[in-house]
Structure 1
Amino acid sequence: MLFFTNRLGGGGAEMQALRVANALDPTEFTVDVAVCRAGGEYERLLVPTATLHHLAPRRIRSSTLGLLAATLPLRRLVQRLEPHIVCSFMDAANAVAALAVRRSGGYPRMVPCVQNPLSQELNDPRHPVKRAVFAAVRRAYPRADAIVALAHGVAADLVRHIPDAAPRVTVIHNAGVDDQLPARAKEAIDADVGPVPRPLVVACGRLAPQKGYPDLLDAFASVQRDTGATLWILGDGPDRQSLEAQVGRLHLGDAVRFLGFRKNPYAFMSRADVFVLSSLYEGFGNVVVEAMAAGAPVVATDCPHGPGEIITDGENGLLVPVSDPQRMAFAIRRVLQDRDLAARLVERGRRRAEDFHVNKIGAEYAALFRRLA
């Protein structure tokens, strides 16, 4: 087995690659993991039975250039290792894998994993890199041996854009929970953060347009006036400056803190009185499952795709319309003010999170790999 992605760090897709690689039985599968760029924060979590390969020179910082630079090294690695299966994660890495791998006698089997809806990620005629990746996967996906979509909505979106890929598409949800998560959720939060305020709202994700943070801030401004709550946002990204400016315009001051990337987000999730996902779109929404497993009641946008496949509204979480700060504020306020509701969401959310345990999801991947090999 050879897994391939840009780097082991930075987001949910990379964490999924790590969890699947770690979940495979080493007595049955020999696992190699190839990444374009070294230094990802998840590398230290890779099991010792797996071998990690860095393909692109360390001086390359760009994701796009790193993928291009990795093409020939990946081809040589595949020729040397002769894996039965190459499993890649994310569309750009899937395109590079298809370009790099030369098959003989049907091997290696190619299994690209689609982590976000093509309609949102790639179908943008104004963006030359996205346009090139979209053209590449339109050719590559119908030739794959199997395509893993992480949600039924993502699968349907893929088939709409690439109908010829339909017979090869299978849905395997992301692994959102592993055996370490509950213990890590109980660890102390980072000392530099200080004491935990009450009530506390937590969000986690890249500071980018996809995550809908302007809507969350607008919603929180209303919540904060009524409850005196504090909002902690974990993650970094290109929108940080504009979001900080919005906090100023809303006169929220110290009630909102941008805490940057944190090695253990689960410790923050477990201390949340409510966890909020405000995304405009998702592939799956790993953080929803992680927050449930950490013991936080969850409010999430019913965005395409993922949260609606995880949450049954009112039972194990609350769903709100996309880009509707008023409805989001109402849902957050409900959880903060109705502790019976919050306790019910926590209990049922924990149970729901177990459906996405890495042992279960890893077994589904293993069954697929056995069938292909």
Structure 2
Amino acid sequence: MQRRITLFIYSLGYGGIQRIVVRMANEFVKRGYAVNLVLAKRTGALISDVDASVNVINLNASSVLYSIAGLFRHIRNNRPHVLFSAETPINIVAIWAKLLFGSKIRLVISVRSNISEYSKNEAVWYSRFTPILVRVFYRYADALVTVSQGVLDDLKAISKSAFARGTVIYNPVVDLERSTVSPTTAPHRWLDDRDVPVLLAVGRLTAQKNYPVLLQAFADARKSRNMRLIILGGGKMLDDLINQCKKYEISEHVHFAGFVDNTAAYYSFASLFVLSSDYEGFGSVLVEAMAHGCPVVSTDCPSGPREILMNGTYGALVSPGDASALSNAILKSLENSPDIESLKSRAADFSVDKSISQYLALFFPEESSI
């Protein structure tokens, strides 16, 4: 009998969570599972990346809360063996739907970010209630998975009893079966000029990513060395960041490229990748950069970067929000010759095959010994 897996997420707009869920869906169908990708709202450019064998279901809900009826109907009609959800609001709806249905469906919820930091920093009204919702409802899931040990530790601090059984599974980032041939054409003219180093940052233009501190650090570093900065990602903060570039008189040296579907060439040609986030769940972009041999600098934010970089072994770690420390780390990293093979080897630890196998063992524990 073919095993049925339902993945539940709000939409497929550009974002780290969305990319990971699409990759999971595609990999599951490759391994012979029947996969339904249930979206509260069928929007987002990543829909085109979903394998044709994945059944995409649109609940057409006006909000996360109003998706519960559609998810309930899906469970009743399709009887998936496993329901997997990602992101806290979606996890809550998945738990409610399972409790209402009363089925023996195995519910696996996923926490992709540091809840304590999220509840303090996210500009959405319900974020401050997130720890309460987590304490009350997460205990009803059959299994809980986090993307880093730091996220799991944070959850245990919120409710030790509810998350004693939590499992850490790192994101499926590096596809070892794909060709390792590096792109030969630079995606931007700055990347063709090897005399001027180019820094790269990738991520949505949101407060969480703290691009203001990156721009300040970049402006300070430019006083000591000529360099450029390319930022991939879009968001509501674009105008504010452009104005900050004008303030620091670096507009001619910073390029906002917007959302880019294929980032491989940028990683391959960039001189240094910089992550300036105040908090993360994992930090897949660090692994992506390392997989292409690009050296990295990151804030030591909760949670993920310290685990990926093994306490700074594979890239400098600086305190979040410290522009001076970030500027110094950028300059020092540009002076050092990177050990490209070492970076690639570490990135390979976060392979797609390893992660997907761990997820399937968690989904179907009775088959994990096979």
What TM-score results when the alignment is normalised by the length of structure 1?
0.89
- 5 Å-filtered alignment, 1:1-373, equals 1-24=5-28, 26=30, 28-56=32-60, 65-102=62-99, 107-122=104-119, 128-179=125-176, 186=183, 188=185, 190=187, 193-196=188-191, 197=193, 198-313=196-311, 315-338=313-336, 340=337, 342=338, 344=339, 346-371=340-365
Deviations 1:69-123 (A, max 9, x none): 3221111111111001100011111011112234667521111100011101135
Distance 1:25 1:333, change over 3 A: same
What is the letter of the counterpart of residue 8 of structure 1? Answer: L
Looking at structure 1, the residues matched to 176 and 42 of structure 2 have their Cα atoms a distance apart, in angstroms, of: 26
| Higher deviation after alignment, 271-280 or 168-177 | 168-177
What is the letter of the counterpart of residue 218 of structure 2? Answer: F
Looking at structure 2, the residues matched to 331 and 10 of structure 1 have their Cα atoms a distance apart, in angstroms, of: 29
| Higher deviation after alignment, 275-284 or 232-241 | 232-241
Distance 1:20 1:224, change over 3 A: same
Deviations 1:261-315 (A, max 9, x none): 1111222111110000011111000100011112211111111100000003553
Distance 1:311 1:256, change over 3 A: same
What is the letter of the counterpart of residue 73 of structure 1? Answer: G
> Any conservation in 2 of the 1:178–1:359 contact (CA below 8 Å)?
yes
Distance 1:325 1:372, change over 3 A: farther
Distance 1:209 1:128, change over 3 A: closer
Q: How far apart are residue 22 of structure 1 and its match?
A: 2.1
Structure 2 unaligned spans of 5+? none
Distance 1:180 1:200, change over 3 A: farther
| Higher deviation after alignment, 232-241 or 126-135 | 126-135
**Secondary structure at the counterpart of residue 365 of structure 1:** helix
**Secondary structure at the counterpart of residue 107 of structure 1:** coil
Q: CA RMSD in A?
A: 2.3
> Any conservation in 1 of the 2:131–2:158 contact (CA below 8 Å)?
no
> Any conservation in 2 of the 1:181–1:266 contact (CA below 8 Å)?
no
Looking at structure 2, the residues matched to 27 and 318 of structure 1 have their Cα atoms a distance apart, in angstroms, of: 38
Distance 1:72 1:105, change over 3 A: closer
> Any conservation in 2 of the 1:185–1:269 contact (CA below 8 Å)?
no
Looking at structure 1, the residues matched to 184 and 100 of structure 2 have their Cα atoms a distance apart, in angstroms, of: 47
Distance 1:126 1:183, change over 3 A: closer
**Secondary structure at the counterpart of residue 229 of structure 2:** strand
Distance 1:336 1:124, change over 3 A: closer
> Any conservation in 2 of the 1:85–1:107 contact (CA below 8 Å)?
no
**Secondary structure at the counterpart of residue 364 of structure 2:** helix
**How many residues are aligned here?**
360
> Any conservation in 1 of the 2:156–2:164 contact (CA below 8 Å)?
no
Structure 1 unaligned spans of 5+? 58-64
Looking at structure 1, the residues matched to 32 and 159 of structure 2 have their Cα atoms a distance apart, in angstroms, of: 34
Distance 1:243 1:360, change over 3 A: same
Looking at structure 2, the residues matched to 337 and 365 of structure 1 have their Cα atoms a distance apart, in angstroms, of: 40
Looking at structure 1, the residues matched to 281 and 122 of structure 2 have their Cα atoms a distance apart, in angstroms, of: 21
What is the letter of the counterpart of residue 363 of structure 1? Answer: S
What TM-score results when the alignment is normalised by the length of structure 2?
0.90
Distance 1:151 1:372, change over 3 A: farther
| Higher deviation after alignment, 147-156 or 264-273 | 264-273
Distance 1:100 1:131, change over 3 A: farther
> Any conservation in 1 of the 2:148–2:307 contact (CA below 8 Å)?
yes
